[in-house]
Chains A and B, each alone.
Chain A
Amino acid sequence: MISPLLVTRGLTRRFGGLKAVDAVDFTLMPGEIRAVIGPNGAGKTTFVGMVCGRVPPSAGTILFDGADITEMPPHRRVRLGIAYTFQITSVFPNLSVYDNVALAVQRGGGGDMRANVMAALEKVGLAGRAAMQAGQLAYGHQRLLEIAMGLALKPRLLILDEPTQGLSDAEIEGFVDLVRTVAENATVLLIEHNMPLVMQLAQRITVLDAGRVLAEGTPDEIRADAAVQAAYLGTAEQAA
C-alpha cells in the first residue's frame, strides 16, 4: 500500500472570529493531480498557505511524507520538496529571467547550473527570453516563469495557486500539457477557478466552502453532487 504524501488533520485557521479554514482533514496520494475548488473566500489560499508554511495554523497538524511539518518554517518545507507558485505573479522583476530560475535551481545544489536552468525554461517555452528582465515579460509569460521556478525546485509536491488567471485560451492549452508532464514526476495540488480546466486535468477534486470540505471525489462525482452544485457550480450546463 502506498502511503499518502500529504495529510492534514483538523487543520484550522482563524482570523479574529472568522474561521477561514475549519477543521480540514485532507489526504493527497503521491502522483495525483488534485484540484481544490470553491467560491471566493472558501479558504483555498489559506489552506495551501498553511501547507507550504506561509500561514501558521491555529489548530491541527500537517504531515508530509509521514513527518509532522506543522511547526516547520517555510524555507525548510521547500527543501523537503513542497513548492508553491504564487496566486499573484511574484517573480523578481529586476533580475533576468535566467537569474529567476537560477535561484530555484541553485537551491537544490545546482549541478550543471546553465543546463538545468535552460531545461526548466525550455519546458515552459521561455528559453529564448533568458536574458530579458523578468519585469519586461508579458503577463502570461511571467505566469509561465513562475511555474518554471516551481519546476526548477524539482518538487515532490507542486502547489499551483490559480495558475491560469489572466492567461489566454492558447496559453491555457499549453498549460494543461505542462501540468500533465509535471505530474509524471510530482504530485500537483491545483487551486483553480476555471472549471472546464479543472474537470479536464484533475483526477480528484476537493470542494471547500466556508472553510470546510463540502465534497471530495472524481470530476464526475463532483459534477453530479447536488450540494456542490448549490454552493458553487451553478447549473449543470455551466459546469459541463
Chain B
Amino acid sequence: MSGQDRPAKIYALHLAVLVVLFALNFVLPAYYHGLMARILVLAVFAMGYNILFGYAGLLSLGHAMFFAAGLYGAGLAVVHLGLGVPLAFLSGLACGAVLSLAVGALALRTAGVAFMIVTMMFAQVFALSLIYFARWTGGDQGLVVPQPARILTFGAAAFDLTDPTVRYMAALVLFAVALFVTLALARSRHGRVLAAIRENEERTRMLGYDTFANKLAAVVVSGTISAAAGAAFALLFGYVGAAFAGVQYSILPLLWVLLGGAATTLGPLLGTLVMYAVTDTASSFTSAWLLIVGVVLILLVLFFPKGVLGTLRARWLGWLP
C-alpha cells in the first residue's frame, strides 16, 4: 500500500516459498522430514510473535503461555473430553484467544520494560499453574495424546496425523494460512496503524486512533496464532508438556524473529530454520553446541542487525513485505 507497491512480485515470492516447502516433502530424508514439520509449526509460533513484536513493536516475554494455552487447550480437550481433532484444535484456538484478551487488557496498561516484566510474570503464573494442577495436566511429566485420537476424519476420508506425510502436509497448511494472514495484515490499514503505533504512539493517538484498542487487537491476533501453533503441535506430535510454557519458549520466538527479520512476513520461518540448522549442525560434532549457537547469533546481530530479511530489505529489496 506504500508508494512502491509490487503485489504481483510479493504474491509470487510467497507462493514460491510454499511450493518449495511442498516439494521438500518428497525429497527430505526421514529425520529432516520430521524436523521440518516441527519447524513449520514453530515458525507459525514465531509468526504470531512477529505480529506483536515486529509490526506493533511490543516486546512480550510471555508468549510461551499463548503457545501452551493452545497446546493444553487442544491436548486436554482430547485426553479428558474425548473431542475429535477439529474441535480440539478450535478449543486450543479459543483458549489462546481468551487468554490473550485477558492478559492483553491487563498488561497493556504498562509499556516498555514494564510490559516485558508483566507478560513474563503472567507466563510464569501460567506455567506454575500447569504444574500445580497435575491431576489434569500431568504436571512435569505432561501428557501423551494417544495415537487413535489423532485421526482427522472428513466424511469417509481419514487422515492419520501420526503419518509423516500427513503430518508434514497438515503443518504446511497451517503455515500457509498463518503466512497469508500475516501478509494480509501487514498490507492492511490495520497493519499500517500498528506500524504507526510502533513508530510513535502519541502521534498515532493524535491522528484519531484508539491505540489501546489497536494494541489489544494485535495481542489477541498474535496470541491466537501462537495458540494455533501450540494446538497443532499437540495434535501432530502427540505430546503436551509444561516445558513448552517455560521461559525459554518465550525467548525462542523472539530469537527466531530477530534472526529472520522483525516485521517481515518470511523472517520468522527463516529465523526458525536457521536456528534449528545451526543447533543441529553444532550439536552433531560437539557437546559445546550452545557456544557455537551463541557465536553465530553474535555474528548475525553484527552483520544483520535487522535480521536477515530485514537487512536485505533495507539494503536491496525495498518491496519485501
Contact = CB atoms under 8 A, between A and B. Distances in A.
5 contacts: A75-B211, A83-B206, A91-B200, A103-B196, A104-B207
Residue among B200, B204, B211 with most chain A CB within 10 A: B200
Interface string A15-39: 0000000000000000000000000
A95 B2 CA distance: 9
A131 interface: yes
Residue among B1, B199, B209 with most chain A CB within 10 A: B199
Contact of B207 (A93, A96, A107): A107
Interface stretch (B89-97, B98-106, B161-169, B187-195): B187-195
B286 interface: no
Interface in B204-230: 204-211
A76 B3 CA distance: 29
Contacts, number: 74
Residue among A86, A106, A153 with most chain B CB within 10 A: A106
Given A79-B208, A102-B192, A90 B203 contact: yes
A213 B259 CA distance: 57
B203 A86 contact: yes
A48 to B, nearest CB: 12
A54 interface: yes
Interface residues of B, number: 21
A177 B146 CA distance: 75
A104 B209 CA distance: 9
A99 B2 contact: yes
A153 B1 contact: no
B205 A75 contact: yes
B140 interface: no
B1 A86 contact: no
A74 interface: yes
A202 interface: no
B1 A99 contact: yes
Nearest to A74: B205
B196 A84 contact: no
Contact of A97 (B3, B195, B196, B209): B3
A103 B207 contact: yes
Given A96-B2, A99-B1, A103-B204, A75 B210 contact: yes
A107 B203 contact: no
Would you list the 9 A-B pairs with minimal beta carbon distance, nearest first?
A131-B3, A78-B208, A92-B199, A98-B3, A107-B208, A96-B2, A130-B3, A90-B203, A106-B189
A83 B207 CA distance: 7
Contacts of A132: 3
A153 B2 contact: no
Nearest to A96: B2
A96 B2 CA distance: 7
A88 B195 CA distance: 20
Residue among B203, B205, B207, B209 with most chain A CB within 10 A: B207
